[in-house]
Amino acid sequence: MAGRKFHPALFALFLAQRNPDVLATARGIASLMASAGFRISERMARRYRNFLVKQGYVVIVRDAEGLRVELTEKAKAFIEKVRKSVEKPSSGRS
């Protein structure tokens, strides 16, 4: 079996960890995924954003400056978990 599988929206969350505000708009998510080599429609990107909000990974805040995204503790814990698994040394197989 390949590896652990995650919802694609969580992949977008991981990609946006340095600039989470890109998750505020569907166009931002679509371009973020395109930069990683995945073509998704803006409609699908809206679904990803809604998934992240409903599951409690992000909070979208509208203020005088516009839309911005705040990562929740759940999102930060997920990002750290994935980062550790990526940085983990291999088991020595070649």
CB atoms within 10 A of CB 70: 11
Query: According to the model, what pLDDT value does residue 1 have?
Result: 41
pTM above threshold 0.85? no
Per-residue model confidence as pLDDT tens digits over 64-86: 989 999 999 999 999 999 888 88
Per-residue model confidence as pLDDT tens digits over 3-26: 667 888 999 999 999 999 999 999
Which amino acid is it at 24?
A
Sorted by where each begins, the domain ranges of the chain are 8-87
CB atoms within 10 A of CB 39: 8
- Does domain 8-87 fall into CATH 1.10.10.10? yes
